[in-house]
Amino acid sequence: MSNNPQQSREWKALQAHAKSMSGTHMRDLFAKDPDRFNSLHLRTDGLLFDYSRNIVTSETLKMLVDLAKTSDVASWRDKMFAGEKINITENRAAFHLALRGSGERSVKIDGENIKDFVQKSLGQIESVSAKIRDDKNITDIVNIGIGGSDLGPRIVYETLQSFNDGPRIHFVSNVDGARITTVLKGLKPANTAFIVTSKTFMTMETLTNAITAKDWAKTTKNFYAVSSNTEAAKAFGIAQENVLPMRDWIGGRTSVWSTVGLPVAIAAGFENFKTLLAGARAMDDHFREAPFEKNIPALMALLAIWYRNFMDFRTHAILPYAHNLRKFPAFIQQLDMESNGKSVDRDGNDIDYKTGPIIFGETGTNAQHAFMQLMHQGTDIIPADFIIVKNPDHNLDDHHRKLNANALAQTQALMQGRKKADKPYKKFDGNRPSSTLLLDRLDPWHLGMLLALYEHRMFVQGIIWNINSFDQWGVELGKTLANEILAPGAHPTADQTTLALMQILEE
Ligand code: F6P
């Protein structure tokens, strides 16, 4: 049987169904079914998922679930939970689940017992974070890393502001010297520790920033490294006991659960880090056990597929109504676009259907005063996830009520549009889909759930699209070319424009 999802009966049925749905307005679906919200929302462990404001009927949902079934999502999910090497192009497992205590307990990867490795890593995170938190000389930590070695710990650190009682953490990712200069300007070497976070310990941006930091500190005494390339970290000058290993089966964009999460444990304490893992584990259990009809990440993925492949919507917005989640859209951009931005399938064939959409986002209410006009009245339809929080971690209730009122108003306006108006330019049709995730509070537990939820959503989409979500060959090409441009001598691979601009830059 072909692995091209378009060949399946379920895909073809959905194509026909999408045609028959043309002209369906959510206003009518709500009018016909006063119970629509009740039927189309789910709750699990302090998280509510409302998907009533999507352009779907119960038939659509059933057909999408059938697509998941025929695409073998369940057996791929089992392979991931069993630590199998599902990242085929790199011959690696994608076993970040093990880091939070999910997945098969007795898995060995390349001869190593994973349970033992995870236990040891947790022990290291606990002892190193405690040592740094207890050292009253250390007031500031600089995490040097990029991509997954930056975004994961950064989003957790920023989101858990009210839990952070350890040293301040600064995140340096960009190789633009302006960033590290600004960060170091406010710091003193005696009071600063550095964590060089790089799975490969080969990433140009990270190594360049690390060398600048070492020159500034004049010693590597307060340097720590998180890497699977422990030899390179030691060769850089970092003491063996300060090198925390990771492994190649931990993908960069799903690495916050590993030793990469060290800054989180330093800032918020090891207990909060463990609670983050527990929240993710609860979502893993839900993903593994709930039937697709009631499975939040699976349904989110299926809705995304419905819009991308059957309605030809090209973008997806992530709109957290929580200031501390301001980096969340950037985190999801990496998680989703680096994973599912693919045009070759798992069998090496060129793909002739759409895969990952463009993801963008911003916090509410700021987004309302920036790009949401286009979401309401523009010519593209942009499905959106609204993320709202029930209990704030401050006592400004008036602010919180206004914040959430705005989120509800936006989802309603997107759906209903405005039918009656005194002027034609004030009228618009609505029917713009959105889902709402309501978290009880923004604490380590719920944040762990939220991050794991989006990981599984990404995974399900990748399986249905028959792509490998765990490699990133496009990014690798950019890294190689940058190194070639920097190399002295002739540049046989540089094209005409690159050569001309190089010359101008060097004049
Ligand atoms: O952006 C590409 C990428 O390979 C990411 O997947 C990874 O998180 C990032 O580079 C950083 O890589 P490393 O941790 O090896 O420095």
Which tens digits make up the pLDDT trace of 191-220? 999 999 999 999 999 999 999 999 999 999
Alpha helices in 33-176 (DSSP H): 36-39, 58-70, 73-81, 114-134, 148-159
Q: Let me know whether 433 and 486 are in one domain.
A: no
Q: Let me know whether 250 and 268 are in one domain.
A: yes
Segment 244-260 mean pLDDT = 97
pLDDT score for 493: 87
For residue 76, the tally of other CB atoms under 10 A from its CB is 17
Is the residue at 89 inside a domain? no
Atom of ligand 1 at shortest range from CA of 197: 14
| Residue 256 Cα to chain centre, angstroms | 10
Q: 478: domain range?
A: 473-506
Which tens digits make up the pLDDT trace of 406-435? 999 999 999 999 988 889 899 899 999 999
Q: Let me know whether 307 and 450 are in one domain.
A: yes
**Banded pLDDT at 105 (limits 50, 70, 90):** confident
Which tens digits make up the pLDDT trace of 349-396? 999 999 999 999 999 999 999 999 999 999 999 999 999 999 999 999
Q: Let me know whether 138 and 32 are in one domain.
A: no
**Banded pLDDT at 107 (limits 50, 70, 90):** very high
| Residue minimizing CA distance to atom 1 of ligand 1 | 147
- Does residue 163 have a pLDDT over 70? yes
- Does residue 282 have a pLDDT over 80? yes
AA identity, residue 168: R
- Does residue 33 have a pLDDT over 90? yes
Ligand 1 centroid to 148 CA: how many Å?
6
Q: Is residue 340 within 8 Å of 356, Cβ to Cβ? A: yes
Residue 96: closest CA among 341, 327, 334, 280: 280
Is the residue at 79 inside a domain? no
Can you tell me which residue has the tokens 């003193």? 188
Q: Let me know whether 178 and 226 are in one domain.
A: yes
State the DSSP code for 294. G
- Whether 420 is catalytic is no
Is the residue at 324 inside a domain? yes
Q: Let me know whether 450 and 480 are in one domain.
A: no
- Does residue 1 have a pLDDT over 70? no
AA identity, residue 229: N
Q: Let me know whether 350 and 367 are in one domain.
A: yes
Atom of ligand 1 at shortest range from CA of 252: 8
Is the residue at 483 inside a domain? yes
What CATH number should be reported for the domain holding residue 351? 3.40.50.10490
Q: Whole-angstrom Cα distance, residue 344 to residue 313?
A: 21
Atom of ligand 1 at shortest range from CA of 151: 8
Ligand 1 centroid to 291 CA: how many Å?
34
Residue 458: closest CA among 311, 212, 283, 313: 283
| pLDDT-above-70 percentage for the chain | 100
Q: Let me know whether 116 and 249 are in one domain.
A: yes
Q: Let me know whether 477 and 460 are in one domain.
A: no
* Catalytic member of 62, 369, 402, 419: 369
- Does residue 489 have a pLDDT over 70? yes
- Does residue 490 have a pLDDT over 90? no
User: What's the pTM?
Assistant: 0.97
Reduced to 3 states (helix: H, G, I; strand: E, B; else coil), residue 41 is strand
Is the residue at 91 inside a domain? no
Task: Ligand 1: list residues with CB < 6 Å.
Answer: 146-149, 198-200, 203, 206, 252-253, 338, 472, 475
Is the residue at 92 inside a domain? no
Q: Let me know whether 447 and 500 are in one domain.
A: no
Q: Let me know whether 457 and 321 are in one domain.
A: yes
Residue 131 makes CB contacts below 8 A (sequence gap 6+) with none
Q: Let me know whether 302 and 264 are in one domain.
A: no
- Whether 108 is catalytic is no
Reduced to 3 states (helix: H, G, I; strand: E, B; else coil), residue 392 is coil
Q: Is residue 225 within 8 Å of 196, Cβ to Cβ? A: yes
| Residue minimizing CA distance to atom 6 of ligand 1 | 252
Question: What's the structural domain count of the chain?
Answer: 3
* Catalytic member of 10, 158, 338, 455: 338
For residue 337, the tally of other CB atoms under 10 A from its CB is 17
Cα→Cα distances 498→176, 204, 336, 476, Å: 20, 19, 30, 18
Establish how many alpha carbons lie within 13 A of residue 254's alpha carbon, considering only the half-sphere containing its beta carbon: 28
| Residue minimizing CA distance to atom 3 of ligand 1 | 147
Strand bridging mode 168-172 / 140-144? parallel
- Whether 274 is catalytic is no
